[in-house]
Amino acid sequence: MLRSAFVRTNNRLPKIASSAATSGSAAFSRNTLSPSLRTSSIRQYAASAVGVAKTLRSDDGLSIETHTDVQAANKEQSNIRTASKSIMSTEDGISSGTTALNHAYRENTGYGTRPIYLDMQATTPTDPRVLDTMLKYYTGLYGNPHSNTHSYGWETNKAVEAAREYVADVIHANSKEIIFTSGATESNNMVVKGVARFYSKTKKHIITTKTEHKCVIEAARAMMNEGFDVTFLNVDANGLVDLKELEDAIRPDTCLISVMAVNNEIGVIQPLKEIGAICKKHKVYFHTDAAQAYGKIPIDVNEMNIDLLSISSHKIYGPKGIGALYVRRRPRVRLEPLFSGGGQERGLRSGTLAPPNVAGFGEAARIMKQEYENDKKHIERLSKKLVDGLLANDHTNLNGSALHRYPGCINVSFAYVEGESLLMALRDIALSSGSACTSASLEPSYVLHALGKDDAMAHSSIRFGIGRFSTEEEVDYVIKAISERVKFLRELSPLWEMVQEGIDLDSIEWSGH
């Protein structure tokens, strides 16, 4: 239905996209270069564009800067600029539009070219304090934490255990209940497959929701091949699980309920405490994927009766490539390990731990706890500003519950604009139309589908992630840029024209397709 209309608009959109890219910064044109060229040019540019980076010299006068080729970078950049200008002048069809976009880009007004990062649900920048902790383990403290015959092992082992304390502390757990893994995906797989397999003789049923992260859904699907029944619960229009429905879905042979804490696409917080109480009542293990929630909303594993909880380090300004799984000890939760090996991490996750990552993760967790109030205040303030600014545009709406949400994740639908084309026109802001794994495929988000949104709505939504390092200036820029470009794209859209004329789109019978 509406799809066909979007195909039509699409035919016109590449034009905007290309003009946007060319009129836009050189940084993006660079992305079309070969990968090998790309890295080198980033360095060069840094020197040219910055121009102010204080020359850093070591004591003997040697320059230790990594970027040097200022002239070449300047030349390259000016070439790209003139090229883009000549393309623009031939593009007379939408000249009014390019001026609008030019204006929004602030290209030649003495500002930088690198996009604003607003995709904090995908990953977060590593906190310098975390990096500072990690560097020690990449320079001097390189022992294997499992070597207990010498001091190299002891010192890293001590760091690992300290990190474990910090990680446990955020969710009010005991440090012995924390298992380090490679990330939340591994943790989720470990739970869904491990718990199910361990109890497979008597229990054959898993409950989860339709809005879970792909790794939980796919792991549950994989268990269906091993003879398990899986119930995928629906969510309401706000993205929340119906507790009654959840309770009704529990069977005598249910072994695990997995409900995520904060949704990665819409930021909705599920009623963990209530679900925990239901699980306790029916003696079913409760797992929650807290990758987006850990350290950002208050979680108490005891108060909420959480038996298993997945954590990811790179969502809390920690290093990439590490995460953790909380596994309750009393009453003990048993699970079959995915990895066989030396029996590290209580035998649940064999393999040598990476002390730099573990220590960095621990520091990130410690900072999350220490900075909780400050971060919360900052993120809430910026989030409110962004939501108010975006919703001031016509025909926009916030996806997911407005009340039960983590303010750092905002998902907004811009009706009559196609999300991906808006992202194309927004090359100066790093955003995503959904989770990183699904946005590559141009498929509409399954999470928004589960909320009952139609294809058109799911296609036209964009996710904004605000974090510790976001600034007010950035939010102001984003509001302005989005408002201008939504308006511009709508002016191209025949659908928008019809809406302006007061035609009800649902009353139209689309031909073809």
| Residues in touch with other proteins (CB under 8 A) | 25, 27, 42, 45-47, 49-54, 56, 64-67, 105-106, 110-117, 125, 128-129, 131-132, 374, 378, 428-429, 468-471, 473-474, 477
In angstroms, the Cα distances linking 387 to 77, 142, 238, 412 are 36, 46, 17, 8
Task: State in angstroms the smallest separation of the CB of 439 from other proteins.
Answer: 21
* Complete DSSP assignment for 238-281: TSPBPHHHHHHH--TTEEEEE--SB-TTT-BBP-HHHHHHHHHH
Which of 31/86 has CB closer to other proteins? 31
Which of 145/360 has CB closer to other proteins? 360
Task: Look up tokens 């949704």; give the residue.
Answer: 263
Task: State in angstroms the smallest separation of the CB of 51 from other proteins.
Answer: 7
Nearest Cα neighbor of 126 from 299, 367, 293, 325 is 367
Contacts of residues 143-151 at CB distance under 8 Å and 24 or more positions apart, as own/partner, are 143/355, 144/352, 145/352, 145/353, 145/355, 145/358, 146/342, 146/344, 146/352, 146/353
Is 437 one of the annotated active-site residues of the chain? yes
In angstroms, the Cα distances linking 493 to 9, 12, 151, 254, 483 are 6, 9, 68, 50, 16
User: Are the C-beta atoms of 163 and 363 separated by less than 8 Å?
Assistant: yes
Q: What 3-state DSSP class applies to 430?
A: strand
**Is 393 exposed, middle or buried (CB count within 10 Å of its CB: 0-12, 13-18, 19+)?**
middle
Q: What 3-state DSSP class applies to 288?
A: strand
Which of 47/171 has CB closer to other proteins? 47
- Report the distance separating Cα 39 and Cα 41, nearest Å: 5
Which of 51/227 has CB closer to other proteins? 51
Amino acid at 145: P
Task: State in angstroms the smallest separation of the CB of 433 from other proteins.
Answer: 20
**Is 501 exposed, middle or buried (CB count within 10 Å of its CB: 0-12, 13-18, 19+)?**
exposed
Which of 141/398 has CB closer to other proteins? 141
Task: State in angstroms the smallest separation of the CB of 348 from other proteins.
Answer: 34
What is the dihedral angle through the alpha carbons of 282, 284, 289, 290, rounded to the nearest 10 degrees?
60
Which of 477/496 has CB closer to other proteins? 477
User: Are the C-beta atoms of 417 and 489 separated by less than 8 Å?
Assistant: yes
Q: What 3-state DSSP class applies to 209?
A: strand
Amino acid at 460: S
Which of 176/369 has CB closer to other proteins? 369
Task: State in angstroms the smallest separation of the CB of 289 from other proteins.
Answer: 27
Task: State in angstroms the smallest separation of the CB of 471 from other proteins.
Answer: 5
Task: State in angstroms the smallest separation of the CB of 103 from other proteins.
Answer: 13
Task: State in angstroms the smallest separation of the CB of 25 from other proteins.
Answer: 7
User: Are the C-beta atoms of 349 and 181 separated by less than 8 Å?
Assistant: yes
Task: Look up tokens 């020359």; give the residue.
Answer: 55
Task: State in angstroms the smallest separation of the CB of 192 from other proteins.
Answer: 36
Which of 135/498 has CB closer to other proteins? 135
Which of 235/481 has CB closer to other proteins? 481
Task: State in angstroms the smallest separation of the CB of 367 from other proteins.
Answer: 11
User: Are the C-beta atoms of 196 and 170 separated by less than 8 Å?
Assistant: no
Which residues pair with residue 429 across a beta bridge? 116
- Report the distance separating Cα 430 and Cα 432, nearest Å: 7
What is the dihedral angle through the alpha carbons of 63, 68, 70, 76, rounded to the nearest 10 degrees?
180
Largest Cα separation within the chain, whole Å, is 80
Give the Cα-Cα-Cα angle 403, 409, 411 (nearest 5 degrees). 85
Q: Which of 215, 255, 279, 437 is catalytic?
A: 437
Amino acid at 155: E
Which of 421/470 has CB closer to other proteins? 470
Please give the positions annotated as active site. 437
